[in-house]
A and B are shown apart, each in its own frame.
Chain A
Amino acid sequence: MGQERIEIDYDHVDVRRIMDQIKEKVAAEAGGKPLASGGEAAPVSEPDFTGGQGRMRQVLLKLTSPFRPLIKLLILPVDEEHRRTVLILDHTNRRLDRLIAEVERDRRLTREYTKLLHHLCHNLVVEMSKLKIEVETLKTKTRVMEKDFEFLGKREKALEKEAFK
């Protein structure tokens, strides 16, 4: 299948290196044809270098026509590399798009978490306020009970006095 282009150093097999080559190969292939699976953007069309209708261009093309085979021969390796780079960049671009979408999703999640945190803080404040009111009520009750206790003490003493008269 594509193993002819995957170089493996059998004396020092390195899974990461093999996977890098596989990923590079897949990226190069994916750049050359539309991906079958849905959800990914359509491939970007290759740049068109043949456009333009200017007269100067026509003249230049005519003048250079005898050297065309030589020029083609000279630029062929560069052109190949250029095309390959464009394809890899295109694939990378589409992967970046996907990653950006994921980051956006994470951002939404963070926003939800912030909302939850806000609710939590709000609930804490409400609960603390309720507790504070409760403490105040209990303090008042304690004061009333202290007074009652004092009164009962006085009453007890008065009754004792009456009883042992």
Chain B
Amino acid sequence: MKLAFVVQRYGLEINGGAELHCRWVAEHMKKHAEVEVLTTKAVDYITWKNHFARDEEVVNGITVRRFPVTRARNPERFGRIQDRLLRHDHKEADELRWLNEEGPRAPGLIQFLKDNENAYDYFIFFSYRYYHSYWGIKTVPRQSILVPTAERDPVVGLGIFRDLFRTPRAIIYNSIEERKMINDVSGNGPVPGDVVGVGTEIPGCYSGETFRRQHNISGPYVLYLGRIDENKGCHRLFDYFIRFKRESGSEVKLVLAGSTVMQIPSHPDILYLGFLGDGEKFDALDGAELLIMPSFYESLSMVTLESWALGKPVLANALCDVLKGQCQRSNGGLYYETYPEFRESLGVLLSSPRLRRALGEDGRRYFEANYTWDVIEKKYLALLGRLEKDKSS
């Protein structure tokens, strides 16, 4: 069986989101099928400017074909178009103009799909909202599988996507909440699909002590991992944490790791460590009392799964239905909507090591039952097997 993974960006430089999700799945599916990746030459997701010079290369044993982006995105113009689209009556042509503007516009990639339709058994598209998925699925609908990685953001309701969600041969969802949302907006119930998600690689050894020594951190700390951004709910996290410190007198620290696009408040107990590599990330998790996930929009949250894989509980934003649902299903974390709930939940978690252990253990069991690579690979293979069976009958 020959599979092509089609994604907006691909490479070892890209360490998060749907692109990393795609790379990990592609690298694991390599064991079971012939795998290639079709992508663009872009690295920067704001402008999609061409970055890679070569048309073809091998990344971790997988052939990657890169197609040039013919027009870089102008973020200001895109912002204006999106704003108008979401606030005013519009036609399908406006939505298609928005999609063109969003990019990454790589007509060469779509032409390649058209010319090589028969060279692959299935095309697995990642991220529903970009040019490559929309036009790609329209080009090879009967061989396409979509991994939408959809969050609860307003563009999911656009008419063009309602049509898109009904088109592919199958859909692989990240969570039950994502499936429900997509079913609700598009009425695509009959399209076959499964909730799969993504696994994660846990290093053989990690040490919270080493991390504490390296960064000179003493006392308990809670950890936030990911982009430090208002869109990720970080402004509210800072506000809540500072209030919590003031009211409780707790000695806990908030450790932040990841790239930042916002001002971090100057506070003696808020420590920003910059971007951490994979190994160090697990050291940081191991040393933490718990992981905080303040994001409002998540389609899965890989870092939450990593936290559970290490037996660490999570304190999540309940306004994100995926995070709340995951905490309830796993029994691996508490959640909050308002500051008083944040204060009480964090207070109860910090004061009870036994509760942290119990939640962490439940989280670990949930991770092992649903998100180890064996489970993920089996789910992908089962879906592909089902499609093959349908094809032959």
Which residues of A are in contact with B by a Cβ distance under 8 Å? 1-3, 6, 8, 10, 13-16, 18-19, 22-23, 25-26, 29-30, 36-37, 115-116, 119
The distance from the CB of A122 to the nearest CB of chain B, in whole angstroms, is 12
CA distance A40 to B352 in the complex (A): 32
CA distance A1 to B247 in the complex (A): 9
- Beyond A1-B347, A15-B334, list 9 extra A-B contacts (CB 8 Å): A1-B351, A3-B348, A3-B351, A15-B331, A15-B359, A19-B345, A22-B334, A26-B338, A115-B89
Q: Is the CB of B343 within 8 A of A116?
A: no
Check if B36 is an interface residue, CB within 8 A of chain A.
Answer: no
Q: Which of B346-371 contact A (CB under 8 A)?
A: 347-348, 351-352, 354-355, 358-359, 362
User: What chain A residues lie within 8 Å of B89 (beta carbons)?
Assistant: 115-116, 119
Check if B248 is an interface residue, CB within 8 A of chain A.
Answer: yes
Check if B70 is an interface residue, CB within 8 A of chain A.
Answer: no
The distance from the CB of B186 to the nearest CB of chain A, in whole angstroms, is 15
User: What chain B residues lie within 8 Å of A23 (beta carbons)?
Assistant: 341
User: What chain B residues lie within 8 Å of A37 (beta carbons)?
Assistant: 338-339
User: What chain B residues lie within 8 Å of A30 (beta carbons)?
Assistant: 340
**What is the 8 Å Cβ interface bit string for chain B, positions 355-393, against chain A (1 contact, 0 not)?**
100110010000000000000000000000000000000
Which of A8, A16, A25, A119 has a CB less than 8 Å from the CB of B352? Answer: A8
User: What chain A residues lie within 8 Å of B332 (beta carbons)?
Assistant: 15
Check if B333 is an interface residue, CB within 8 A of chain A.
Answer: yes
Q: Which of B308-360 contact A (CB under 8 A)?
A: 327-328, 331-335, 338-341, 343-345, 347-348, 351-352, 354-355, 358-359
CA distance A1 to B351 in the complex (A): 8
The distance from the CB of B97 to the nearest CB of chain A, in whole angstroms, is 18
The distance from the CB of A108 to the nearest CB of chain B, in whole angstroms, is 13
The distance from the CB of B311 to the nearest CB of chain A, in whole angstroms, is 14
Name the residue of chain A whose CB is nearest to the CB of B336: A22
Q: Is the CB of B355 within 8 A of A1?
A: no
Name the residue of chain A whose CB is nearest to the CB of B347: A1
Name the residue of chain A whose CB is nearest to the CB of B339: A37
The distance from the CB of A25 to the nearest CB of chain B, in whole angstroms, is 6
Q: Is the CB of A14 within 8 A of B340?
A: no
User: What chain B residues lie within 8 Å of A8 (beta carbons)?
Assistant: 348, 352, 355
Which of B248, B341, B362 has a CB less than 8 Å from the CB of A26? Answer: B341
Which of A1, A14, A115 has a CB less than 8 Å from the CB of B348? Answer: A1
CA distance A116 to B338 in the complex (A): 35
CA distance A10 to B331 in the complex (A): 12
The distance from the CB of B356 to the nearest CB of chain A, in whole angstroms, is 10
CA distance A119 to B338 in the complex (A): 40
Q: Is the CB of B340 within 8 A of A3?
A: no
User: What chain B residues lie within 8 Å of A16 (beta carbons)?
Assistant: 328
Task: Take A8-B352, A13-B331, A13-B362 as given contacts and tell me if A25 and B339 are in contact as well, using a CB distance cutoff of 8 Å.
Answer: no
Q: Is the CB of B344 within 8 A of A15?
A: no
CA distance A23 to B337 in the complex (A): 10
CA distance A117 to B237 in the complex (A): 40
List 6 contacting pairs A-B, 8 Å CB cutoff, sorted by A.
A8-B355, A13-B359, A15-B327, A19-B345, A22-B344, A26-B341
CA distance A6 to B355 in the complex (A): 12
CA distance A18 to B359 in the complex (A): 11
Q: Is the CB of B341 within 8 A of A13?
A: no
Name the residue of chain A whose CB is nearest to the CB of B351: A3
Which of A2, A13, A19, A115 has a CB less than 8 Å from the CB of B347? Answer: A2
Q: Is the CB of B339 within 8 A of A2?
A: no
Task: Take A13-B362, A19-B335 as given contacts and tell me if A3 and B328 are in contact as well, using a CB distance cutoff of 8 Å.
Answer: no
Task: Take A10-B358, A116-B89 as given contacts and tell me if A22 and B345 are in contact as well, using a CB distance cutoff of 8 Å.
Answer: yes
Q: Is the CB of A18 within 8 A of B334?
A: yes
CA distance A16 to B359 in the complex (A): 12
User: What chain A residues lie within 8 Å of B359 (beta carbons)?
Assistant: 13, 15
CA distance A15 to B335 in the complex (A): 9
User: What chain A residues lie within 8 Å of B341 (beta carbons)?
Assistant: 22-23, 26
Q: Is the CB of A26 within 8 A of B334?
A: no
User: What chain A residues lie within 8 Å of B334 (beta carbons)?
Assistant: 15, 18-19, 22
User: What chain A residues lie within 8 Å of B339 (beta carbons)?
Assistant: 36-37
Q: Is the CB of A26 within 8 A of B352?
A: no
Q: Is the CB of A26 within 8 A of B327?
A: no
Task: Take A13-B358, A15-B327 as given contacts and tell me if A26 and B351 are in contact as well, using a CB distance cutoff of 8 Å.
Answer: no
**What is the 8 Å Cβ interface bit string for chain B, positions 151-192, against chain A (1 contact, 0 not)?**
000000000000000000000000000000000000000000
CA distance A123 to B61 in the complex (A): 53
Which of B343, B345, B355 has a CB less than 8 Å from the CB of A10? Answer: B355
CA distance A8 to B357 in the complex (A): 13
Which of A1, A14, A116, A119 has a CB less than 8 Å from the CB of B344? Answer: A1
Name the residue of chain A whose CB is nearest to the CB of B331: A15
A-B pairs, top 4 by smallest CB distance, nearest first, are A1-B347, A26-B340, A13-B358, A22-B344
Name the residue of chain A whose CB is nearest to the CB of B248: A1
Q: Is the CB of B328 within 8 A of A15?
A: yes
Q: Is the CB of A2 within 8 A of B331?
A: no
